């Protein structure tokens, strides 16, 4: 009873640590703007979740898992992994890089003025305020959590169809008794 829950929790923490550290590493070396890296990190996250649930199904549940069991397991594991990623994001922004937001604000304002000169001053100010708001470690880590958990729920709804496996072996001996 407790073994699947413990292993699901441990898998969620491991996936979250791997994904969060990988994401932070690419951010640290300045590759956060490359979309292919973000897609790769996201894909690794979901492959990890899928493979973990399949492993638990095959090793602990005798190869059988209902749709609802798969859905709950994926959401639980994904929530643990998402929380771990958000925690790493918080630690990274708060203690590792100690982000100076001023160069980011200056670059954004310059880009908006150079490429989009027709933007009104209020729109530029709103954009800069949002950047300032979203780079706060608590806000950023919360946004990370909700971003990942939203996709986990969608993934769970779809992947549970592929992960589920029920016992369709109907014994004739049981029907004759």
Write out pLDDT tens, residues 17-31: 999 999 999 988 878
Domain count, the chain: 2
- Please tell me the distance from the alpha carbon of residue 32 to that of residue 36, in angstroms, as a whole number: 10
- Please tell me the distance from the alpha carbon of residue 175 to that of residue 177, in angstroms, as a whole number: 6
Residue 83 lies in a domain: yes
Q: Using 50, 70 and 90 to split pLDDT, how confident is the model at 84?
A: very high
Mean pLDDT of all residues in 141-146: 93
Domain that holds residue 95: 2-99+137-167
- 159/79 same-domain check: yes
* Predicted pLDDT of residue 112: 73
- 61/128 same-domain check: no
pLDDT exceeds 70 at position 173:
no
- 6/31 same-domain check: yes
- 80/32 same-domain check: yes
Residue 172 lies in a domain: no
- Please tell me the distance from the alpha carbon of residue 168 to that of residue 26, in angstroms, as a whole number: 46
Residues 96, 22, 133: CA angle, nearest 5 degrees: 50
- 26/111 same-domain check: no
Residue 115 lies in a domain: yes
pLDDT exceeds 70 at position 61:
yes
Residue 79 lies in a domain: yes
pLDDT exceeds 50 at position 177:
no
Residue 157 lies in a domain: yes
Residue 176 lies in a domain: no
Cut 0.75: pTM above it: yes
- 153/92 same-domain check: yes
Mean pLDDT of the chain: 85
What's the per-residue H, E or C state across 46-114? HHHHHHHHHHHHHHHCCCCECHHHHHHHHHHHHHHHHHHHHHHHHHHHHHHCCCCCHHHHHHHHHHHHH
What are residue 89's DSSP bridge partners?
none
pLDDT exceeds 50 at position 94:
yes
């Amino acid at each position: 009873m407790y073994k699947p829950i413990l292993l699901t929790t441990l898998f969620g923490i491991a996936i979250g640590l791997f994904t969060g550290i990988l994401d932070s590493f690419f951010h640290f070396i300045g590759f956060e703007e490359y979309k292919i890296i973000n897609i790769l990190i996201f894909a690794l996250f979901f492959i990890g979740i899928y493979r973990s649930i399949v492993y638990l199904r095959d090793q602990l549940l005798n190869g059988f898992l209902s749709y609802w069991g798969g859905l709950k397991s994926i959401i639980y594991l994904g929530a643990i992994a998402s929380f771990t990623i958000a925690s790493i994001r918080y630690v990274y922004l708060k203690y590792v890089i100690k982000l100076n937001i001023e160069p980011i604000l200056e670059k954004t304002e310059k880009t908006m003025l150079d490429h989009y000169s027709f933007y009104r001053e209020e729109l530029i100010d709103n954009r800069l305020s949002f950047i300032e708001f979203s780079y706060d470690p608590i806000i950023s880590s919360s946004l990370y959590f909700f971003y990942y958990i939203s996709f986990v729920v969608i993934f769970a709804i779809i992947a549970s169809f592929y992960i589920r496996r029920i016992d369709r072996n109907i014994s004739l001996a049981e029907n004759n008794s």
